[in-house]
DNA sequence: CCATGGTTTTTTGTCTATAATCGGCTCATC
DNA sequence: GATGAGCCGATTATAGACAAAAAACCATGG
């Protein structure tokens, strides 16, 4: 049995994941400024780990620095969403294709369990979480660390965008958990078939369909100042 | 005329790019350990900016942290190279396709100038640099920041790999500057045609051809210890 | 020669302090 | 009223200090 990998646990990492969760949970308003001293006090750690965490979050696209070094939560525009979708449309088919070639039984079990969970879950947040997990499992099964890195960043930003939509009280998707489960089942079947082309096509179709049901332009209820 | 963006110039960024160049120039042996105090003394700055730079370099894949926090230059294995090639094979066609739709005259001029420079340049290092620049220009012309981020990381790692090969005194490619220039010209023509599909196909062919002439497995002249 | 245990040195993780910088406010001036 | 200078609080950038942990070293015993 391979020994469990010992992860480096420093405060920076802890702060980083806690902040990532908080941002994606909508606990920081998109566009709001984040100051290091305030985080330092909130989390009870000094500024050094905070700074290191913020740098990582910036590279993951969950915060951004302006020219003077101030940190803020990015406000994703429709253009940003389009960028993210374009890249997802590129990554997901490749991931599915590789997964079709390499996935083991444990992956299929995890995916099937995820679909079952999706059918029984109540809240929309749970569906979103399971959806992210589902695709995460596929990308991991693809066995390409670089691909996974690209995808992680995207997933974070999709999370940020969901938070942003919820904050504006906009419905995120009209797709029910039943439809999601069925779409995932189709994708799982394609991957399990072992045919890379078929899996890629299914993934492409799935992502494209998912994009279609999302609101493209946020209703500008906030001020649209120059 | 759009004003030139004022970039935040802090030591972290400076250290990061200097270290990135140094690593890709082979000034740190792959696998060698890098300690913060030594960098701090070498560059004459305190450890705080060093640490921040290292975090960014880690996400760009130019250094890696072990479980105890020690930093080292990664040793790329044939599997890593395969991962990188897979992702490049995914990104470049999409970038070329988007560039075909969006590129402006200035982009074409830059690409043409690059090709001309490639024909006249002497050293292999120059050809590599121009090759990276060429593809960089295309990805920028694609106008997708997320795509650019993915690609940047890959480019850095290709640079690291070139450094690693040169350190082992292995020829990096058999392709001459003339062949490179011709291949780039073909790709440029495809992009300039404005047909996304044609551009994507050309890019795919180009990358695939490039992969073919690279040495896959490094000759294990070093010790291959367990 | 190899393994083992303890000691020393190095390196990291974190905190705190200080200088430089930015943002906003007041207030005088046109 | 609008505009710009100047001050003040807040924030960032960097440096330096310290403890804890890891690695290297060295001697000792098999």
Query: DSSP states of B206-219 as a string?
Result: HHHHHHHTS-SS--
Q: Which residues of B43-65 are buried (b: 16+ CB within 10 A; e: fewer)?
A: bebeebbbbbbbbbbbbbbbbee
> What is residue A103's predicted lDDT score, i.e. its pLDDT?
95
Q: Sign of the C-alpha dihedral, residues B61, B62, B66, B67?
A: negative
Instruction: At A134, give phi and psi (nearest 5°).
Output: -60, -50
Q: State, as a whole number of angstroms, the distance between the CA of B28 and the C1' of D23.
A: 21
Q: How many Cβ atoms from other residues are within 10 Å of residue A97's Cβ?
A: 25
Full strand arrangement of the beta sheet holding A71-72: A33-34, A71-72, A64-65
The arithmetic mean of pLDDT across residues A111-130, rounded, is 92
Give dist(CA B220, CA B82) in Å, integer: 17
**Which burial class, exposed, middle or buried, applies to A129 when counting CB atoms under 10 A from its CB (0-12, 13-18, 19+)?**
middle
Instruction: At B49, give phi and psi (nearest 5°).
Output: -65, -35
The angle, 0 to 180 degrees and rounded to 10, between the axes of the packed helices B78-102 and B177-192 is 40
pTM: 0.90
- Element housing B185 (H / E): helix B177-192
Q: Which residues contact B126 (CB under 8 A, 6 or more apart)?
A: none
Give dist(CA B150, CA B136) in Å, integer: 11
Give dist(CA A132, CA A175) in Å, integer: 15
Whether the Cβ atoms of residue A91 and residue A150 lie closer than 8 Å to each other:
yes
Mutate to test the interface with A, among B15, B52, B79, B87 (most CBs of A within 10 A): B87
**β strands within A73-125, DSSP E:** none
Whether B9 has a pLDDT exceeding 90, the answer reads no
- Where is average pLDDT lowest: A79-93, A112-126, A129-143, B34-48? A112-126
- Where is average pLDDT lowest: A166-170, A206-210, B17-21, B106-110? A166-170
Which pLDDT band, with edges at 50, 70 and 90, does B211 fall under? confident
pLDDT digits (tens, 9 = 90+) for B114-154: 999 999 998 888 888 999 999 999 999 999 999 999 999 99
What does each C-alpha distance from B83 to A8, B55, B79, B114, B120 come to in angstroms?
25, 22, 6, 28, 32
Whether B32 has a pLDDT exceeding 70, the answer reads yes
Q: How many Cβ atoms from other residues are within 10 Å of residue B194's Cβ?
A: 13
Which pLDDT band, with edges at 50, 70 and 90, does A28 fall under? very high
Contact A87 B56 (CB under 8 A): no
What does each C-alpha distance from B157 to A83, B14, B93, B132, B162 come to in angstroms?
23, 19, 19, 12, 8
> What is residue A219's predicted lDDT score, i.e. its pLDDT?
47
> What is residue A156's predicted lDDT score, i.e. its pLDDT?
95
Which residue in chain A has the smallest CA separation from B6?
A: A67
pLDDT > 70: what percent of chain B?
Answer: 89
> What is residue B210's predicted lDDT score, i.e. its pLDDT?
86
Contact B67 A5 (CB under 8 A): yes
Whether B26 has a pLDDT exceeding 70, the answer reads yes
Whether the Cβ atoms of residue A28 and residue A75 lie closer than 8 Å to each other:
no
> What is residue A211's predicted lDDT score, i.e. its pLDDT?
85
Contact residues, chain B, for A150 at CB < 8 Å: 87, 150, 153
Which pLDDT band, with edges at 50, 70 and 90, does B222 fall under? very low
For chain B, the first-to-last Cα distance in angstroms comes to 60
> What is residue B139's predicted lDDT score, i.e. its pLDDT?
98
Which residue in chain B has the smallest CA separation from A7?
A: B67
The arithmetic mean of pLDDT across residues B50-58, rounded, is 98
pLDDT digits (tens, 9 = 90+) for B155-165: 999 999 989 98
> What is residue A4's predicted lDDT score, i.e. its pLDDT?
59
Contact residues, chain A, for B61 at CB < 8 Å: 146, 149
> What is residue A206's predicted lDDT score, i.e. its pLDDT?
95
Can you read off the two tokens belonging to residue B103? 């590129």
Contact residues, chain A, for B144 at CB < 8 Å: 83, 86-87
The arithmetic mean of pLDDT across residues A132-137, rounded, is 96
Whether the Cβ atoms of residue A160 and residue A23 lie closer than 8 Å to each other:
yes
Beta bridge partners of A131: none
Contact B147 A7 (CB under 8 A): no
Whether B15 has a pLDDT exceeding 80, the answer reads yes
Q: State, as a whole number of angstroms, the distance between the CA of B71 and the C1' of C20.
A: 31
Can you read off the two tokens belonging to residue B164? 């690693």
């Amino acid at each position: 049995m391979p020994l469990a990998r010992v992860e480096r646990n420093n405060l920076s990492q802890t702060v980083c994941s806690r902040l990532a969760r908080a941002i994606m949970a909508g606990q920081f308003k998109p566009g709001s400024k984040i100051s290091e001293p305030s985080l330092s006090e909130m989390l009870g750690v000094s500024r050094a780990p905070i700074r290191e965490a913020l740098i990582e979050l910036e590279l993951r696209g969950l915060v951004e620095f302006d020219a003077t070094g101030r940190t803020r939560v990015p406000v994703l525009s429709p253009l940003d969403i389009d960028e993210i979708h374009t890249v997802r449309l590129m990554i997901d088919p490749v991931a599915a294709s590789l997964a079709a070639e390499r996935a083991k039984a444990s992956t299929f079990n995890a995916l099937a369990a995820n679909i079952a969970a999706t059918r029984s879950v109540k809240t929309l947040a749970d569906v979103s979480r399971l959806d992210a997990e589902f695709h995460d499992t596929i990308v991991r099964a693809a066995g390409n660390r670089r691909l996974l890195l690209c995808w992680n960043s995207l997933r974070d930003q999709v999370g940020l965008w969901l938070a942003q939509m919820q904050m504006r009280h906009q419905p995120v998707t009209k797709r029910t958990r039943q439809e999601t489960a069925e779409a995932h089942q189709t994708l799982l079947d394609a991957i399990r078939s072992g045919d890379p082309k078929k899996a890629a096509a299914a993934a492409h179709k799935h992502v494209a369909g998912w994009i279609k049901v999302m609101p493209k332009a946020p209703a500008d209820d906030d001020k649209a100042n120059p």
